[in-house]
Amino acid sequence: MKKINKTLQAAKVSRRSVLKGAAATGAAAAIGPYYVPNAFAAPVVNVLMWGEYLPDSVVADFKAKTGITVNHTKIGDNGEIISKMKAGGGAGFDLASPTNMRALQWENLGVLAPFDMNRINTGNVNPGMLAVGERDWNFGGNGSHWVPQLWGTESIAWRTDKWSPNGLPSFGDIWEADPEISGAYMMGRTYSMMTGCGIWMHHQGKMDFWSSYKDEETMRKNWETITAYCISKKSNLVKFWSGADPQKQGFTSDGVIVGQTWDGPIAAMMKAGEPVAYQTTDEGALAWIDGITLSAKAENIDEAYELINYSFTPEVGGATINAIGYNSAVNGASDHYSAETKALAKAIYPGDTSTKLNPWPPEPPWYADARAEYANKFETA
C-alpha cells in the first residue's frame, strides 16, 4: 500500500473531498460589514504570492468590488518566499503564501502573525485543509497562522506529438529514455525531480524513500543513492525550472519532451490547445496545499482580511481555477468550474487516482538544508 502522509490524510485531499459541501462543518463564522475604506488613502494590500495565483480578471474584479488595489509580488519557489519575508521580518508584505509542509521552517522565524479566525469566513473552506493550519501552523499555541487557498500536484507532463506513456506515466519516465527519444529531452525542478526519482526507486524496492524524513542519517543514505543516479542521467536534461512560466517554455520553445511539472501550468496549456498532457503517476503524484499567511508587520490588515474572504467565495474559487488550473480549497468552487475544467480534471486524475496521492511530508530545517546539498551536487555535476 502506498504511504500517504498524515498531512493530506487529515486534509482529505481528493477531488471528492475538495468538492464536498461544508454543511458538516456547521455554520460559517458570523461576519458583518468588516471593511470600511479609508477616505484619505487609496486602499492597497501587498501580497507575496505564487506568480499565477492572482489572475488579472480576479484582481480587477476584487478592485471593482472593494476599491482595493492588489500589489502582487510574484514568486516561484518556497525558498524565495522565506528569504523575502526574513529580509525585513515580514515588512513590506501583508500576506504571503507558503506551502503546507513548510511549517517547521517558518515556526521560529517570527515573521508571521496568527489569524483572527473570527474575521475569516471559513464556512466555505475544506475543513480538513483548515485543520492543517490549526495543527501544523499553530505556533506557540497562539492559533493558526495559515489558511488553505489552492492545492495541486506534481507529476509527469509530456509533448503528446512526440511521446506517450504506456498507461499511467511514471516518475521513472523522465529518467529512462524511450528508445525513440534521442538527445536531451527532460526537465524538472531540481529537488522535486530528485524526490520523484526516490519515489520511483521506492516502488522498485530499491529503498524505503519515505524513511528519509525520519532521521538525517537515513535521509543522507537514500539521497546519496538518488544523487548518484540523477547525475548519471544528467545528459538527458534540457533544463531545471523554477516557477510556472519556465515549465511552459520548456515544452513550447526549449525542446522538452517529458518533464516533472505542476498540474496548473500544463492544464492551462492543455486548455489553450497546446500538444501537451499531464497526468498523475502510477506511483501517485506528489500533492501539496498552498495557503495564505499574515505578516507580523502587516500594515493593511483590514484589506488583507477582505482579500481572503473574497477569495473564499465559491464564485471566485471557481473563476480562479478556470483561469489558472490547480484545485480550489473552497467548497462549492466546482459549481463554477467550466465544462472544460471538469473534463481536464477527469483526464488528469482518471478513476480513483486522486485518492492515491503522495503528500509532501513536513520538512524540518535539517531536511531542507541537507536536500539542498544534494540538489546542488546534481545541478553542478
Query: What is the structure's pLDDT at 359?
Result: 92
Query: What is the structure's pLDDT at 41?
Result: 72
Average pLDDT for residues 130-153, to the nearest whole number? 96
Residue ranges covered by each domain of the chain = 6-151+287-342, 153-286+359-380
Q: With a cut of 50, say whether residue 290 has pLDDT above it.
A: yes
Q: Which residues, 6+ apart, have CB-to-CB distance to 184 below 8 Å?
A: 235, 236, 237, 238, 255
> What 3-state DSSP class applies to 121?
coil
Binning pLDDT at 50, 70 and 90, where does residue 31 land?
very low
Class level of CATH domain 6-151+287-342: alpha beta
Nearest to 103 by CA among 69, 131, 64: 131
CA distance 140 to 138: 6
Q: Hey, how many other C-beta atoms are within 10 angstroms of the C-beta on 58?
A: 19
Assess contact for 174 and 165: CB atoms under 8 A.
no
Mean pLDDT of the chain: 90
Average pLDDT for residues 73-79, to the nearest whole number? 93
Binning pLDDT at 50, 70 and 90, where does residue 35 land?
low
Binning pLDDT at 50, 70 and 90, where does residue 126 land?
very high
For the segment 81-109, what is each residue's pLDDT rounded down to a tens digit? 999 999 999 999 999 999 999 999 999 99
Q: What pTM value is reported for the model?
A: 0.84
- Yes or no: is domain 153-286+359-380 CATH 3.40.50.740? no
Taking the CA of residue 114 as centre, how many other CA atoms within 13 Å lie in the half-sphere pointing to its CB? 14
Average pLDDT for residues 217-233, to the nearest whole number? 98
Average pLDDT for residues 32-61, to the nearest whole number? 82
Distance of alpha carbon 167 from the chain centroid: 25
Binning pLDDT at 50, 70 and 90, where does residue 3 land?
very low
Nearest to 356 by CA among 259, 255, 253, 287: 287
